[in-house]
Amino acid sequence: MLEVENLVQEFRREFEAIKNLEQWIQARDRYLSRERGLLTRALRSIGRLPPEERPQVGKRLNEVKEQIEALLEQRLSELKAQMTAAQLERQRVDITLPGYQYPLGMRHPLQQVREEFERIFVRMGFMVMEGPEVEEDYYNFEALNIPANHPARADQDTFYITTSLLLRTHTSPVQVRAMEKLQPPVRIVCPGRVFRRDAPDATHSPMFHQIEGLVVDEGITMGDLKGTLEFFLREAFGSEIRVRFRPGYFQFVEPGAEVDISCIFCGGNACRMCKQSGWIEILGAGMVHPNVFRFVKYDPNKYTGFAWGMGIERVAQLKYGIDDIRLFFENDLRFLRQFN
């Protein structure tokens, strides 16, 4: 019994010295550990006592164990409360301090150009439409008068997912899908990402952006195409530019045209940017091929229309004087902040 009381006094001294969780764990293990705890060993030694002493000593040891466990539980609650208070103090917010100045984001230059073009065409009465980037071969080629094994497919190295699914090579499939749903008159623009298997360099990217347009109605002529595009290009690049149309070939239009604008850098006087020609090629256009109308169940004897398409990156490069298309996709904030 004397040893038991000495054990109690020893615990009380150590208990008073517990100031942190580490000391609490050491005290708990020293007295209550299942293998080497002092109290545990004392309880196991009861069997070696004379029979008449065992009940009294056993009762006292159990009382001591309950007291030690209660005291340890109390001190653990106190330590947790202290740690919580200390943590709250460390995390305390001084509401009198000025707030943090977080940097604001900005519109990507490609998005800025896209939205500018969309606004121009919406003012002209066009509707903006989008479509899937993973497209069916039928909409990307077949319905645009580009049948299987047609030589024109070689001009668009393509990312095929299956034999009938691919990453679209232009946004023209949106025009086909729109004509399947709408009856003339149709007046839409189709912006979005497109994909071609091009090796990245200063002027090529396997992923880039286009914006295309389509007008279908009775009596649409080449004059409507020229008037629409001239108005758009002068709105986008300035009223002083000149516009010219040259014959061009595209599988889904007939006749087709390449559209140039006078060089925005030298005013058409010839410079390095326009290769001394005074002109910059800006887009392709033409009258919708009758075969395309037949795919969407439009009567080509009743309806005519025109379509056009251009690359947004190319225009952004011209507008902002950027000489490498890869800068648009590198996410370099030093570059992007210039367009805020």
Residue extents of the structural domains in the chain: 2-90, 109-339
pLDDT in tens, 266-281: 887 888 777 888 898 9
| Cα–Cα dist 204/17, whole Å | 74
Using alpha carbons only, how large is the chain's radius of gyration in Å?
40
Domain 109-339, classified CATH 3.30.930.10, yes or no: yes
Is residue 81 packed enough to be buried (19+ CB in 10 Å), middle (13-18) or exposed (0-12)? exposed
Give the per-residue pLDDT at 155.
Answer: 63
Going through 184-303 in order, the beta strands assigned E by DSSP cover 186-195, 207-217, 243-248, 253-262, 279-288
Mean pLDDT of the chain: 87
Residue count of the chain, please give it. Answer: 340
CA distances to 115, 116, 126, 233 from 119, in Å: 6, 5, 9, 13
Q: Which residues contact 21 (CB under 8 A, 6 or more apart)?
A: 79, 83
Give the per-residue pLDDT at 2.
Answer: 65
Please list the residues that pair with 23 across neighbouring strands.
Answer: none
pLDDT in tens, 209-232: 999 999 999 999 999 999 999 999
Give the per-residue pLDDT at 156.
Answer: 66
User: Taken in order 157, 161, 163, 168, is the CA torsion positive or negative?
Assistant: negative
Give the per-residue pLDDT at 1.
Answer: 65
The residue that leads in pLDDT, 15 or 214, is 214
- pTM for the model stands at 0.67
Is residue 176 packed enough to be buried (19+ CB in 10 Å), middle (13-18) or exposed (0-12)? buried
